[in-house]
Amino acid sequence: MEESQDSLAHDPSHILIDRFFREMVPALTSGHVVEIGSRTRSDISRRDLILPHLKYTGFDIIEGNNVDIVGDAHRLPKYFKKRSVDMIYSMSVFEHLAMPWKAVIEMNKVMKKNGIMMHTSHQTWPLHELSWDY
C-alpha cells in the first residue's frame, strides 16, 4: 500500500526536514551551504531549496548532475577551507559512509562556529549503491 502525501506530511522525520528547509535555511542572511551526496538520483535535487543569496556547493563522491565538487566526505578539509561553511546537510548518505564518525569530525573542521548541520538516513531500506551500502 502506498503512503499518501497526507501521511508523509504528518511523519515526524518529514516534518523536521520540511522545517529545516523552511526555517533554518532562510535564517542565514549570507553564507555557504554544502550538500553532501548531492548527485541527483531519481531526478531529486534540493539545490532549488537553497535561497539565491547563499552559495550552494553540491558535493559527492561520484561525478554527476548537481555535483560541483567530486570528493570524499571523510576528507572535507581537502576541498573546503577550515571554518568556511555555514551549513552542511545530507539526505540518505550516512549509510554509505565507511566511517561516518570520521566524516562528522571532518565536517566540524570546515564548519564555522555556530554552523548548522542536518543529516537524515533511513532505518531500513533495500540494498542499493553496492558495495557502499552499510
Pair type for strands 111-120 and 55-60 = unpaired
Mean pLDDT of the chain: 86
The phi and psi torsions of 38 (rounded to 5 degrees) equal -85, -10
Under 8 Å between Cβ of 72 and 100: no
Report pLDDT for 38: 95
Band of residue 68 on the pLDDT scale cut at 50, 70, 90: very high
Band of residue 79 on the pLDDT scale cut at 50, 70, 90: very high
Instruction: Delineate the domains of the chain, giving CATH numbers in brackets.
Output: 5-120 (3.40.50.150)
Mean pLDDT within 24-44? 89
Grid cell, residue 3, equals 503512503
SS3 48: helix
Band of residue 65 on the pLDDT scale cut at 50, 70, 90: very high
Band of residue 17 on the pLDDT scale cut at 50, 70, 90: confident
Residue 98, CB-side half-sphere exposure with 13 Å CA sphere: 7
What is the number of other CB atoms lying within 10 angstroms of the CB of residue 37? 22
Where is pLDDT greater, at 105 or 20?
105
